[in-house]
Every structure is written in structure tokens, then in C-alpha cells.
Structure 1
Amino acid sequence: MRRLALLPLLVALAGPALGQGAGQGTGSPGSDQGPPAEAGWVAKRVAQLQALDKVTARITVLDATVNQPVTFGTLSITVRACSARPPDEVPDAAAFLEVRDSTAQASAPPAFRGWMLANAPAAHMLEHPVYDLRILDCR
């Protein structure tokens, strides 16, 4: 039953990203900034991310301030928006991320650009041979 309740939220949040294809997107960063206001989300300034290096099995928790890039291995991660549910609702977080790989050509599209959801990490995820990334929380 909970999955059915999340379906409208997933469609609303992932809608712009679904049309972009896996891991690739176009458009200005400001065009997809923030979940719908009517969904009861609260904008936050810091995203807590979990990054995994699949080669070394190293897990790192990163605190990324909105619009300030952080690095993990060869990835440069920029959080463009981060929102969380109010304290009186079921905990959840959503972040709009732009991830670039320094080993890719400068003209290459981002490795990932779109929304990530804490409660549905498989809905829209980074597809990278070495790294895995997910959102844990927005503060």
C-alpha cells in the first residue's frame, strides 16, 4: 500500500528526469529545481550523501551544500536543490544532483543529472562502473 502512496510523488519528482534518459540530461540547472510545493516539501541547504567506491568497497558520507561542488574519487557532485518532508510527516528527502566525472571528456554530458529520492534509491540512480551514490537526508 505504501508503494501506491509513493507513486504520485515519484512521478512528480522524476517526471522531468524520466524524459532525459538514464544518467543524462539537458537544460539549465534552474529548470528542475525543487519538488512541487503542494507535495509538502521543505527546502534545505545541505544534502547528506552516501558514496561507494565499488573497487575498494569504501563508503563515505558526504555533506554537500547546495550549489557547492564536492568530490569523491573522480566525481564532482553538485547538489542543485535539496528538500525534506516536514517533521510531522513520514521522513523522506529528495535532491536534484549534477554529477560529472573528471575522466570523461569536457564536452561529455554529466554522468548523472536528476532527482534522487532517499526512500526510493532505485527510482533514478547514478549508473557508473566504479561509483555508487545515494541521498540519505536533507538538512
Structure 2
Amino acid sequence: MRGLLLAGLLLGASAGWAETVSRGNGAVLRVLDKLTGDLQDVELADGDAAPMGRLQVELAECRYPEGNPSGDAYAFVTVRDTTGEPVFSGWMIASSPALNALDHPRYDVWVIRCKTS
């Protein structure tokens, strides 16, 4: 199913479909500790990193539909474990967190929205 969704997105882009986007200056990310059930929202500026439990989360950039900052945000995120090795690096999409998700036994991380101020 994931392959079909990605193929559809690529096909749409190759057929001339493109949405105009704006770049935020940061993002709000949500972290779920699956063992304790704790949720934590963290605001990161573009280029910043923050520890979240046993992970280090880095935000490269966040984008959103032009003129709609509360719209479907997508952010380029790198997540590292305690050894410093990346366990995830890629675009996370607010409306489809399972499309490109962090696969970690203890934590879930997803983007909520971009920051614009």
C-alpha cells in the first residue's frame, strides 16, 4: 500500500501537479513514550536538535501549504539513538504520520505543525 501511495505522489508530481509551499521557521513535534504512555510536545527551530527521552531529534526544515500555516505540515527530521546512530531520517507528514514513520520499539515521533513566528 505504501508503494502505491508514494507512486501516486510521484506520478502526480511528474504530471505537472505541484502545490506551492511556504517554509516555516520551526516545527512542533509530538513524542510518545510507548512504555509509560507519556506524550511530550516539543518546539524546535529549523536546524535545532533536542533530547526526547533516549532519542535526539533534529529538525532540518518544515514546510506547509502557502497561505495555510495550519495546513498539512511536513518536516525533514533526523532521529538518533543513544549511540548517535540515525534510526530515522526523512520527511514526516502531519496528515499521514504512518506514511514515513519512525520504527522504534519504545518511541513514536511525528510532526504536528510548522511554526511561523
Same fold (TM over 0.5): yes
- The structure with the largest strand share of the pair is 2
* Aligned with residue 76 of structure 2, among 92, 96, 106: 96
Question: What amino acid sits opposite 1:85 in the alignment?
Answer: P
What is the match of residue 82 of structure 1?
A: 62
* Aligned with residue 91 of structure 2, among 107, 115, 119: 115
2:20 equivalent to 1:59: no
What is the match of residue 136 of structure 1?
A: 112
* Aligned with residue 23 of structure 2, among 43, 61, 69: 43
SS at match of 1:39: coil
Stretches of structure 2 lacking an aligned partner (at least 5 in a row): none
| RMSD between superposed Cα atoms in Å | 2.4
Give TM-score, length-normalised by structure 1: 0.68
What is the match of residue 35 of structure 1?
A: none
CA shift, 1:88, in A, is 5.0
- The structure with the largest helix share of the pair is 1
Equivalent-residue separation in structure 1 for 2:68 and 2:107 (angstroms): 34
2:48 equivalent to 1:68: yes
Identity of aligned residues (%): 32
Equivalent-residue separation in structure 2 for 1:77 and 1:50 (angstroms): 11
Aligned residues: 105
What is the match of residue 9 of structure 2?
A: 8
Distance change >3 Å, CA 89–CA 112, structure 1 → 2: closer
Question: What amino acid sits opposite 2:99 in the alignment?
Answer: A
Equivalent-residue separation in structure 2 for 1:90 and 1:135 (angstroms): 12
Query: Following superposition, which runs of at least 4 residues in structure 1 exceed 4 angstroms of deviation?
Result: none
Equivalent-residue separation in structure 2 for 1:90 and 1:8 (angstroms): 21
CA shift, 1:55, in A, is 0.6
Stretches of structure 1 lacking an aligned partner (at least 5 in a row): 13-37
CA contact (8 A) 2:70 2:114 kept: no
Equivalent-residue separation in structure 1 for 2:90 and 2:103 (angstroms): 12
